[in-house]
Structure formats: C-alpha cells, structure tokens
Amino acid sequence: MMKFLFMMIFMIPLCFKKQFYWLNQYLYFYMFIMFMFFFSFNYMYMYISYFFGCDLLSYIMIVLTMWICSLMIMASSSIYKKNYYYNLFLFMILILLISLYCTFSTMNLFLFYLFFEMSLIPTLILIIGWGYQPERIQAGVYLLFYTMLASLPMMISIFFYYNYFNSLSFFFLKNIDYLLLYLSMNMVFFVKMPMYFVHLWLPKAHVEAPVSGSMILAGIMLKLGGYGLMRVMKMFLSLSLKINYYLIIISLIGGIYVSLICIRQMDIKSLIAYSSISHMGLVLSGIMTMNYYGMCGSFLMMIAHGLCSSGLFCLANMNYERLLSRNLFLNKGMINLMPSLSMWWFLFSACNMSSPPSLNLIGEILLINSLMMWSIFCMSLLFILLFLSAVYSLYLYSYTQHGKLYSGLFSFSMGYLREYLLLFLHWFPLNFLILKSEYFILWI
C-alpha cells in the first residue's frame, strides 16, 4: 500500500511543471493499471503495512477513486487550454486522491476520521477556485459547515470509544449500545450520503462546482458516507435493529420527495444532483436493513452511481461549454445539432434508471430483495421510488434532445474525440462490470 502512496507523493513536483498536464493523466492511468494487477481477490485484508491495509471493499473504492480522478483531468481540458491555474488544479486533484486513498485504505478509526475530513479541503478549494458564479462562496460555506458540524460529535465519540475499549482498529470494533454514541458517530455519514433532511448542501455544491468538482462529489464523496456506515455499523448491531426502522422510512419517503422535486427542476446540474440524493436514499435504506443482500446491493449501487452520475455531469458540462447555459429550456433540440451526443445522453439516462445491462440493475434488484425481506410494506414505497427514477431520467433526456431549437444559438463545434473517449470510459465499466459482478456480491 505504501508504494502507491509514495508514487502519489512523488508526483507532486510534476503538477508544477509546464506542459505536463496530460502526462499527469497518463500516470494516473498507469497507477490504476498497476493497482489492478497487484491485487489478489481473496476477500481478506492484505498488503497490511503500518495503519494501512486493503480488503475487497476498500480496494474497489480506491480503484473507483483513481479512475474518476484520471477522468477529471480529461474532462477539465478547458482549464489547461485557457491556462487557468492548471498547475494548482492538478495539485488539488492529487491531494484529493492522496486523502481519499488513505481514507479507504486505513484500518484505524481515528485515521479514517482524519483523512475523511482532509478530503473536504481540496473539494472546497476546487469549488471556490474554479466554480462559475459568485454564489459558489455560499455553496462552499454550506458544504463546510454541514460536514464540520456533523463531524465534531464523531471525533468526541471516537475518543469516548477509545477510552472504553482501548482500540480503534476496524478488526476489533466491539458492540456498544449507546443511542447518543450511535447518533454522534453516524450523523456525519448521514450528512455525507446525504440523507433527506441534511441534504441541502449537495444541490448547491453541485450547481456551483466546476465539472471536476461535480465528478468527484458525485463519484466518490457521497460514497464516503456509505463506506463509513458499512465499517462502523458492527459497533451498534443490537441498537441498530431498534433504531434503523425510522431511518429506512425517512430515506425511502425522502427519496420519493426528492424525486418529485427532481421532476420540477429547470437546471440540468440541479436535476442530476437531486437524482443523486434519491439514489443514495435507496443505498442508505439498504445498509440500514443490516442484511447480506442490503449490504451487497448498496455497495453495487454506490459503484454504479459513481460512474453514471459522473458521466451525466460530463454531458451537462459539454452542453454548458457550448451554450453557456444549463437551463433545460435553452438546451432543447440538441439532437438536431449533436446527434452523436444524443446517443450518449440516452445511454446514461437509461443507466440512471437502472436498465439492463448496467450495474445499477443488479444493485436495485438486491436492494429490493433486501427491503422486501425486511418489511413487505416497503413494496409500495419502492414501487413509487423506482418509477419516479425512470420518470426524471426520461424527462431529462426528452427535454434536452427533443423540441424546438433555442433561436439565440450561434454555431458551435461538434464533440471532440476527447469527449467521446471520456464518455466511453464512464460507460464501459458501468455496463461491462456486470460480467464480473461476483466480486461486488462476495465481499462480506
């Protein structure tokens, strides 16, 4: 594990060399391929060195992080072309990658908390430094205060837990039944997911963030909440059976509310952000059922959603770079201007509503099984939630592609090869990992 960490640290000087923008991306891909080949799938903790180690759950999350970070560089080529502090931009992505790598590979609860909070700083700088509107300051404040306010009780509860059991290793987490500890430990993950009621920071952050910020937020940052819950849930096994009932109901009904809000959105990025909240509500309720299907389904859904929503944000950015607007009314009739991009809109909208053969499909099937086993009354809520996810995905596709062209349009270029490659690199793993889905299902 340390060799990859040292590779990232020694890549820092390359960020500040002129004309090394694309070399950084090639090195990210090289690191990703190296990490793939070094791993042996035997479902144990391995590569244990100091506080770092890797099991299948953290391994797949690290692979997803490396993949999304390399695609962030590819999506943000306009920063390089305009010479808009791209050296600092590369440095921020690298710091973000290092902090996320350490978050997913650490085996100590306090170090997990430390790196979890550290990953917030580069994200905040990405939003404030390379965002579009002046409101990005407000979005950054929302992001910072929601996360920090929820995470301070977690730090206190970690100290309390260490005082009680003298160990913070993920191996030796013991069961403890304190309601206050449960809430203070898990609230930060509920905010990060985000759960309905504490989700207001996410649409603001997405709308104001540059494409790279949106990609890392949707692709990885929301998954930190799910990953953390999967790690610490075994501390509260008996208490969870009593408490999780309320959280599942809030998540499912909140998901339905958010889906209805989603259908009323006029901003493309805002629509995709609200769809993320709806999907993560389903993921949260799956984790809270505390059964095997729920955990596996949530894990699959997190991976699939990371690739799918990141691809959708890339598509929204391609429209924005040409029309300089994200309004659905101004983005009409794009099938006339860019028919080849219309196919990608359809493919990603279809993946967003869990059509086969995307990973979302297996994730939703497992989550439906899990929630139906937990309570048959979830059936009606799930039916509405999954129906509405298809509604807003088709709404997004039909509004952007069909209809009359905006009369104020001037000529613009067709898609570049770089953009089609970027979309393909999101779509290919999303649809072809279904052939190797046992790694996502056998990780417990």
| Sequential DSSP letters for 379-402 | HHHHHHHHHHHHHHHHHHHHHHHS
Total domains present in the chain:
1
Q: What are the residues facing 108 on neighbouring strands? A: 169
Give residue-wise pLDDT tens across range 263-292. 999 999 999 999 999 999 999 999 999 999
Confidence tier at 211 by pLDDT (50, 70, 90): very high
Which pTM value belongs to this model?
0.95
How far is residue 65's CA from residue 265's CA, in Å, rounded to a whole number? 29
- Supply the mean pLDDT for the chain: 92
pLDDT at 245 over 80: yes
Helix or strand run (H / E) with residue 98: helix 86-105
How far is residue 328's CA from residue 392's CA, in Å, rounded to a whole number? 13
Q: Give the pLDDT of residue 191.
A: 95
pLDDT at 308 over 70: yes
CA contacts within 13 A on the Cβ side of 225:
31
**DSSP H helical segments within 106-221, as ranges?**
109-118, 120-130, 136-165, 179-192, 201-208, 211-216
pLDDT at 411 over 70: no
Which amino acid is located at 197 in the chain?
F
For 19-84, strand residue ranges (E) read 46-49, 52-54
CA contacts within 13 A on the Cβ side of 260:
6
Q: What domain range is 132 assigned to? A: 2-441
Give residue-wise pLDDT tens across range 115-149. 999 999 999 999 999 998 889 999 999 999 999 99
19 backbone dihedrals φ, ψ, rounded to 5°:
60, 20
